Amino acid sequence: MNREEVLNRIEETGVVVAVRVNSTADAMFAADAVYRGGIPIIEIPMTLDKAPEVISQLRQQNPKLIVGAGSVLNSKAAQVCLDAGAQFLTSDGLQLARVELTARKGAIIFPGALTPSEVVTAWESGCDFVKVVPCAQIGGETYIRSLHAMYPDIPLIAAGGVNQQTASKYILAGAVVLGIGREIIPADALRQRQAHRIHELARRFVTFVKGAREGKLPQHEGPYLG
C-alpha cells in the first residue's frame, strides 16, 4: 500500500485508534479486535515497551492493517518507528524537525497542535493532518468548529476525550478524522479479552462518522459499552 493509498484510507475510515496498553500481547489482541470491528487504522504509542517490534509484527501479520506510531517525541524515535515499518507518525505536540524528517521519508504525519497559531504552523510545515488535542478539555466540538471556520482547508483530527456521545458532533463541526483510544478499547474489555465488545465499539464509531458525513446525528445504538 503506497502513501496515497494509506492517506486515502485514513480519510475514508475517519477513525484512528490509539492502542494504549501495557504489553505486547494486549496490543496484538486489541489491534486485531479493532480491525475485525471495521477500523483498519492502528496507532501504537511509543510509551509501550517494544513498540517498534509490535509495529513490525502487526505489519507482517496483516498487510491490510495500517499501522502507525504515536507519542513520537523526537527525530531519533521517528526514524526507529519508520525503520520498523510505521506508515504514519503522530504525537501530542509539534516538533518541526520531526515533521520534516517524516515528510522526507515519504510517510504520513499528523502532529499535535492546540492554538490557532500552532495549527497554522503545523500545516505550513508540510504535515498531512493536524491533530487538535486535547479537544474535550478546551471546548470540544465548539472549538473544532471555530478552527474549521478559520482554516477550512486544513484537515483536522479531533482527539482527546472524543466519546460515543460526541463523535458525530466533531465530524459535523468540521473534523475529518477522530483520534480515539479507550472509548474503543476499554480496560476491562481488554483485561477480559472481550473481543466482541471491542468489535461493537469500533463498529459504532465507524457508523457515527458515516452518519455525520451524511449530515445525520446518530440514532440510539443500544446500551453504552464504554
Q: What is the CATH number of the domain that holds 71?
A: 3.20.20.70
Residue 191 forms part of a structural domain = yes
* pLDDT score at 142: 97
Residue 225 forms part of a structural domain = no
Residue 175 forms part of a structural domain = yes
| CB of 161 closer than 8 Å to CB of 137 | yes
- The pLDDT tens digits along the chain (226 residues) read 899 999 999 999 999 999 999 999 999 999 999 999 999 999 999 999 999 999 999 999 999 999 999 999 888 999 999 999 999 999 888 888 888 888 788 889 999 999 999 999 999 989 999 999 999 999 999 999 999 999 999 999 999 999 999 999 999 999 999 999 999 999 999 999 999 999 999 999 999 999 999 987 665 455 555 5
Residue 138 forms part of a structural domain = yes
Residue 223 forms part of a structural domain = no
* pLDDT score at 104: 81
Residue 221 forms part of a structural domain = no
DSSP per-residue codes, 161-201: S--TTTHHHHHHHT-SEEEESTTTS-HHHHHTT-HHHHHHH
Quick check: pTM over 0.85?
yes
Q: How many independent structural domains does the chain possess? A: 1
Domain encompassing residue 171: 3-213
* pLDDT score at 71: 94
Residue 220 forms part of a structural domain = no
Residue 226 forms part of a structural domain = no
